[in-house]
Structure 1
Amino acid sequence: MTWRSHTRLLKLYDRAVPEKQGGEHVPVDIAHHFLLAICTRPGQGICFKDRGWYPRETDDGSGGFTGRVYNKISTNVLRTLKVNEDARQQELALKIMTACPELVSGYWAGAALTLEPRLSSKWIANITLAGQVLS
């Protein structure tokens, strides 16, 4: 999956009505389930097994560790999700971080999610996501 292909898939989150009048297939539902299938099952799709919260072991036999990330494509998907605007995208982000815990620290460092108390729906969504990730 390239940068362009996953951004095109994420654009389908804006299409919440069936393609044909009276149709039963809604593009957002199909895209969401597809992304859940390929991004949240370690060993399948674009989700690779990692060491969890710990860094990867190096392949040179030295027994050392490296800070490189296994799930680079999932990192790109995670960064482009609008977690405080869409419940589906928040669910996808949470499930990606559950399946690939190595991405959590990098996500929080790069995310522009404000956690300062404010009475807004975006702040409530941010706090909800933070609580779910930590639990």
Structure 2
Amino acid sequence: MEIAERRPTVVTAAYWLWFVAAVVCVLMGMGYLLATEEILLEEGADAGTVGDQVNLLRMYGGISLISGLFVGVLSGFARKGDPRFRRSLVAFSIMLAIFQIATISVSGFYAVAIVVPAITACVLVYRPTAQPWFER
């Protein structure tokens, strides 16, 4: 019987960091998708532009929700050792980080809770100790 190769710890850590970023993205997306005009008016938004603000929040929420689901699915495949999914997940994580930083006025702290784990996972998955896992 052949002994299974053990997954490097950095790959497991990167997976869980991507998982955290995906969960925050999904939860934040659900929250912004449920935004209503009444909620914004209670917080003191301008009554003339509240409709546009709701549309902006819902669009941002939809993008975040889909991005979180996408990161969650791809991270599972990257954890198994497929280098194609690793490359695509790193590229998408960088794009997601740029999007979150560009829209930090909408997301606030949640952008930091997505960007830091996602970028850290991108660095970890390309560490020299993770290379043999993706070259087998």
Shorter-normalised TM range: 0.3 to 0.5
Greater RCO between the two (CA within 8 Å, min separation 6)?
2
Higher-helix-fraction structure: 2
Structure 2 length-normalised TM: 0.34
